[in-house]
Amino acid sequence: MPGILYIVPTPVGNLEDITLRAIKVLKEADLILAEDTRTSSVLLKHYEISKPLASHHKFNEHTASEKVVEKLKAGLNVALISDAGTPGISDPGFFLARLCAQEGIEVQTLPGATACIPAIVSSGLPCDRFCFEGFLPVKKGRQTMLKELAAEPRTMVFYESPYRLVKTLEQFCEAFGAERHCSVAREISKKFEEHVRGTLAEVCSHFKQNEPKGEIVIVVAGASGKSKAARETEPREKKSGR
């Protein structure tokens, strides 16, 4: 009987942000796959989890996944974790989960930590409907995607590196309008957690003066109808004389 692939979310900051079930699964798994074994060792040591550990990251996941499937078919239970958050969400995991699904192997994803949900709920922007865009393309296709997203009515969520944050906010100002509201969440669930809210121009100015550090989530308000400039350039309807 084949084993089960467990996709296990890990804390994005505070080590206590992990579920009891996640700890149980990690303690009982035959093998734990980690994005970075050095990072994951800190978490596993904290919860006294001692299991075989193997690397599974974006540079080896295509070749490693086939070997993992063989182990699962042999009856081993495997747990996949990333450095922080839920595997598969801007982290390795999708390819292995898809391969297991194609091979008829059971995949169980545990609910748990992720950075995007706390960021959008804390932003003060509408969160009843939103779209998750993750990391934008660094070069090719970036401007095309920004143009497409300019008319997106839902709140948008992005992940970004602190080293590219200011440049990205400047590009958002150009593509979405400097007065569009946003919130930048930094270091969620960590000691120096910070949420900076305001217009894109205001938030961009803040981080030009205060160097951003840590993990970054950008939440941007969706387009709310036509811009003032667009309305002013439209021909006005003639009033009826009746």
Residue-wise pLDDT for 123-177, tens only, equals: 999 999 999 999 999 888 999 999 999 999 999 999 999 999 999 999 999 999 9
Q: Which residues contact 17 (CB under 8 A, 6 or more apart)?
A: 11, 112, 113, 189
Question: Looking at the DSSP assignment, which residues form a beta bridge with residue 159?
Answer: 217
Q: Which residue has the tokens 């440049």?
A: 167
CATH number for 116-220 (one of 3.30.950.10, 3.30.465.10, 2.40.110.10, 3.20.20.70): it is: 3.30.950.10
What type of residue sits at position 233?
A: T
What type of residue sits at position 76?
A: L
How many angstroms separate the Cα of 95 from the Cα of each of 63, 88, 106?
A: 10, 8, 14
Instruction: Determine how many CB atoms are found less than 10 A away from the CB of residue 61.
Output: 20
- pLDDT, position 224: 83
Domain boundaries, the chain: 5-109, 116-220
Using the predicted structure, report yes or no on whether residue 239 has a pLDDT greater than 50: no
Q: What is the pLDDT of residues 64-97, one digit of tens each?
A: 999 999 999 999 999 999 999 999 998 889 999 9
The CATH code of the domain at 5-109 is 3.40.1010.10
Using the predicted structure, report yes or no on whether residue 38 has a pLDDT greater than 80: yes
Collect contacts of 166-173 with beta carbons under 8 A, ≥24 apart: 166/204, 166/207, 166/208, 166/212, 168/136, 168/218, 169/200, 169/203, 169/204, 169/207, 169/218, 170/204, 171/142, 171/146, 172/146, 172/200, 172/204, 172/218, 172/220, 173/200, 173/201, 173/204
Mean pLDDT score, 57-64: 89
Question: What's the CA gap between 219 and 125, in Å, rounded?
Answer: 8
Using the predicted structure, report yes or no on whether residue 223 has a pLDDT greater than 70: yes
Model confidence band, residue 230 (pLDDT cutoffs 50, 70, 90): very low
Six token digits for residue 67 = 């070997």
Six token digits for residue 219 = 């939440």
Using the predicted structure, report yes or no on whether residue 226 has a pLDDT greater than 50: no
Model confidence band, residue 229 (pLDDT cutoffs 50, 70, 90): very low
